[in-house]
């Protein structure tokens, strides 16, 4: 297993800059997800690591050794793609064994009939078979070893692709959106299996996805990329609770974070729709507040937002309540427990507050800026708005 370092990686196609100076360290045994919208450069960065593309400038090291001049086959990496890329005419066992067969058997020993009787072939094939069965048992597909890919489900095919990578015993595993072809239920199942595999092997995993839910549930750390830039790297909790960029806040989390446009006066007091919020900027002027749906709490007074219910989504365990709120261009989403069922109705007026420590502030550049409570409670002036919502 190995550490991985990217140093000021830049990649251009003509006049288009795809990667803009990406620097990133990945620890030995870490599960790191590269996440971002389509076209952000995450797959390009993974392909540069794999040796399938060359960077315009910058360097890549694996296990402390620069690999910029090495071909893909010499980097000791295993890659799993969105496409399973299985050989349809080979059995599951033969598909998993492909990298071992190519590495351990000579070209003569690989011949269909004669190769099996050449010196050393029988012993090597037996060892390969043992390794294949161990990998298949780990992935719970040992009972499928004699089947062809056409006889398997999508999830089973993906496990075969993982098994083929696993038997290589690489220094790191690279996974490029491996679950995109699966249905929602199978994706949930497979992401748990991949995370467990990482913990069982203690191997370094670099995982590319546009699905922030996959990244949040599987990763030790997440690297968020947009427009060729690395915006923030951190644990799932850090990115969710303390986003350092407005774009990160909007990308991470489902339902999405509520973004409230605000103004900051000369004294640092934050205003929403020309009314004091009871919050102040403890640094640069705040232009947007971010509040997660579950951070909002219904209240009788001292509210941050007041709005009229336009839609209620009942998920069984939770309610997602959507409000039209004064001064907020997009509907405000509130997450309430199932016990609120029957107590909230469409067209009800709701008053919402949130603890200052649960509120994210962002300045004019979209960068995180500290927010705190006012020293004294401001007069409640939202009643004026409630009558007009």
Task: Check residue 388 and give its pLDDT.
Answer: 43
Task: Check residue 112 and give its pLDDT.
Answer: 82
Task: Check residue 1 and give its pLDDT.
Answer: 67
Task: Check residue 293 and give its pLDDT.
Answer: 98
Segments making up each domain of the chain, as ranges: 4-241, 257-386
Q: Which two tokens stand for residue 271?
A: 């205003």
Task: Check residue 182 and give its pLDDT.
Answer: 84
Q: Cα(164)–Cα(78) distance, rounded to whole angstroms?
A: 9
CA-wise closest residue to 325 among 357, 289, 358 = 289
- Residue keyed to tokens 């400038």: 57
Q: Cα(160)–Cα(141) distance, rounded to whole angstroms?
A: 8
Give CA separation, 109 vs 55, 104, 115, 121, in Å: 38, 9, 4, 6
Our CA dihedral for 320, 326, 329, 334, rounded to 10 degrees, sits at: -10
Q: Cα(248)–Cα(188) distance, rounded to whole angstroms?
A: 23
Q: Which CATH architecture has domain 257-386?
A: Beta Barrel (2.40)
> What is the 3 state secondary structure string of 351-380?
EEECCHHHEEEECCCCEEECEEECCCCCCC
Q: Cα(147)–Cα(137) distance, rounded to whole angstroms?
A: 15
Give CA separation, 91 vs 150, 224, 241, in Å: 10, 39, 47
320 and 333 Cβ atoms separated by less than 8 Å: yes
Task: Check residue 204 and give its pLDDT.
Answer: 97
Quote the pTM value: 0.89
The superfamily in CATH containing domain 4-241 is P-loop containing nucleotide triphosphate hydrolases (3.40.50.300)
214 and 182 Cβ atoms separated by less than 8 Å: no
CA-wise closest residue to 208 among 9, 1, 48 = 48
The tens place of each residue's pLDDT in the chain, 389 residues long, gives: 689 999 999 999 999 999 999 999 999 999 999 999 999 999 999 999 999 999 999 999 999 999 999 999 999 999 998 878 899 999 999 999 999 999 888 888 888 888 888 888 889 999 999 999 999 998 999 999 999 999 999 889 999 999 999 999 899 999 999 988 888 888 898 899 899 999 999 999 999 999 999 999 999 999 999 999 999 999 999 999 999 999 999 999 999 999 999 999 999 999 998 888 999 999 999 999 999 999 999 998 888 999 999 999 999 999 999 999 988 999 999 999 999 999 999 999 999 999 999 999 999 999 999 999 986 544 444 444 444 44
């Amino acid at each position: 297993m190995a550490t991985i370092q990217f140093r000021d990686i830049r990649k251009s196609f003509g006049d288009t800059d795809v990667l803009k100076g990406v620097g990133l360290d990945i620890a030995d045994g870490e599960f790191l997800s590269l996440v971002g919208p389509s076209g952000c450069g995450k797959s390009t960065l993974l392909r540069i690591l794999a040796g399938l593309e060359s960077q315009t400038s910058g360097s890549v090291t694996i296990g402390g050794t620069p690999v910029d001049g090495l071909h893909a086959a010499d980097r000791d990496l295993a890659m799993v793609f969105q496409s399973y890329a299985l050989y349809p005419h080979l059995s599951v066992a033969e598909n998993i064994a492909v990298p071992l067969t190519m590495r351990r058997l000579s070209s003569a020993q690989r011949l269909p009939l004669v190769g099996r009787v050449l010196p050393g072939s029988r012993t090597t094939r037996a060892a390969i078979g043992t390794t294949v069965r161990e990998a298949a048992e780990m992935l719970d597909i040992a009972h499928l070893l004699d089947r062809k890919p056409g006889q398997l489900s999508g999830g089973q095919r993906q496990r075969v692709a993982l098994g083929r990578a696993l038997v290589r015993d690489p220094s790191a595993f690279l996974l490029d959106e491996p679950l995109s072809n699966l249905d929602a239920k199978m994706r949930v199942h497979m992401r748990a299996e991949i995370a467990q595999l990482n913990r069982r092997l203690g191997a370094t995993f670099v995982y590319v996805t546009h699905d922030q839910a996959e990244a949040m549930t599987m990763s030790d750390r997440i690297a968020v990329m947009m427009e060729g830039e690395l915006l923030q790297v951190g644990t799932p909790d850090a990115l969710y609770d303390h986003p350092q960029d407005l774009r990160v806040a909007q990308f991470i989390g489902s339902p999405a974070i509520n973004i409230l446009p605000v103004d900051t006066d000369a004294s640092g007091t934050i205003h929403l729709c020309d009314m004091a919020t009871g919050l102040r900027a403890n640094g640069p002027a705040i232009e947007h507040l971010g509040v997660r749906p579950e951070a909002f709490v219904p209240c009788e007074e001292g509210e941050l937002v007041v709005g009229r219910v336009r839609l209620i989504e009942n998920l069984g365990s939770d309610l997602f309540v959507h409000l039209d709120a004064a001064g907020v261009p997009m509907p405000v989403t509130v997450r309430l427990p199932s016990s609120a069922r029957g107590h909230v109705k469409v067209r009800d007026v709701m008053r919402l507050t949130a603890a200052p420590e649960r509120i994210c502030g962002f300045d004019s550049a979209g960068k995180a800026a500290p927010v705190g409570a006012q020293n004294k409670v401001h007069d409640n002036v939202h009643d004026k708005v409630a009558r007009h919502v």
